[in-house]
Structure 1
Amino acid sequence: MSQLFTVPIRVECPPGACGCNRELLLNDPDSDRRVLLLTRQEEKKLLLRIEAISNYAELLYLRQRMHEQLGIVLNITPGDNEVRTVRGLSITLADQPGLCKKTRQSVPAAVRKCLERNPQITYAILDAHGLFGISEPQE
C-alpha cells in the first residue's frame, strides 16, 4: 500500500500582483524549485523565527538554513552612506524565480525588527564588515 505524498507549494499570486515568474520556474525541469516550499503559512513561521533571533550567531545560522533549504540568499550589508540606525543597513533577498514580491519585502522587514530590538546584532554586522576595526596609525 504505497501512498503518494505530495509536498505543498506556494499558491500562485493573483495575476499582475507579483513578478515572481513562478510559471517559468515550474515549466523548467532543471530549475531549483525549493523556494516554492515556502508556503504562506511557512513564511509566517519563518518571520516569527527571524523576529525571535537574539544574537548574531543565530542570524547567521538562520541565513544559512534559508539558503540550504529554500535556496534563498539573504544579504545584510552596511549601506552606501553612513550607518546611524538599522535603516542604514541594506537588507535584501537576492532575486530569483518563484520568490514572491511580498516575501522579498516581509523578510527584510522582520530582520529590521529583530535588529531594532537587538542592537548588539547590528554592531556585530558592522564589525564583521570591518567598520569597527581599529586601523594601524600611519607614520
Structure 2
Amino acid sequence: MTTPLIPLRKECPPGACDCQREALLEDPHADLRILRLTKEEEKRLLERIETIASYPELMRVGQRLEEQLGVQIRIAPGPNEVRTVRGFQIELSQRPGLCRKTRQSVPAAIRKCLDRHPEIAFAILNAHDLFAGQ
C-alpha cells in the first residue's frame, strides 16, 4: 500500500466510533475525501462555523463541505414549534469515514452560531416558508 500525500484522519480508539474507517480504506473505489478532515482541520472548521455571520455564508460553508468532503448538512425546523435553536434539526449526512464526534460537533457549532446571530435562524425559518405570508 502506498502512503498518501495528503494527511488522513487518524483512526478512532476501538469501540469509540462507528465511522468504518478501515472498510473505507480497504475499498479501492471509495471516496476518501472525508478522511482529509484531520482533527486540526476539524478544529479550524468548527471555529469557522462559529464565526459565520449571515445565512448566505452558512449556505456557502455547507456547499464547500459537500464539494470538498462529500458531506451534506441538513438544517431544518424540527417537527414541533421552534422556540430556540434547539428546535432545529441539524444533521450531517451519514457516510463511511465520518467520525461520530464530528457528527456531533458540527451541529453544536452551528447552534452556537445561531445563538449569536438569531437573524440566521429567522432566515432558515423563512427559507422553509414558515414566515411566508406574514
TM-score, with structure 1 as normaliser: 0.92
SS in 2 for 1:12: coil
What amino acid is the match of 2:115? E
Pairwise CA RMSD: 1.2
**CA distance in 2: counterparts of 1:56 and 1:94, whole angstroms:** 20
Instruction: State the 1:5 CA deviation.
Output: 7.3
What amino acid is the match of 2:47? L
2:57 corresponding residue in structure 1: 58
Structure number with larger C-alpha Rg: 1
Percent identity of equivalent pairs: 60
What amino acid is the match of 1:6? L
Q: Return closer, same or farther for 1:23/1:5 CA change in 2, 3 Å cut-off.
A: closer
Instruction: State the 1:48 CA deviation.
Output: 0.2
> How many residues of Structure 1 are paired with residues of Structure 2 in the alignment?
132
List runs of 5+ in structure 2 lacking aligned partners.
none
**CA distance in 2: counterparts of 1:111 and 1:132, whole angstroms:** 21
Instruction: State the 1:45 CA deviation.
Output: 0.1
2:48 corresponding residue in structure 1: 49
**CA distance in 1: counterparts of 2:68 and 2:25, whole angstroms:** 18
Q: Return closer, same or farther for 1:89/1:24 CA change in 2, 3 Å cut-off.
A: same
TM-score, with structure 2 as normaliser: 0.96
List runs of 5+ in structure 1 lacking aligned partners.
none
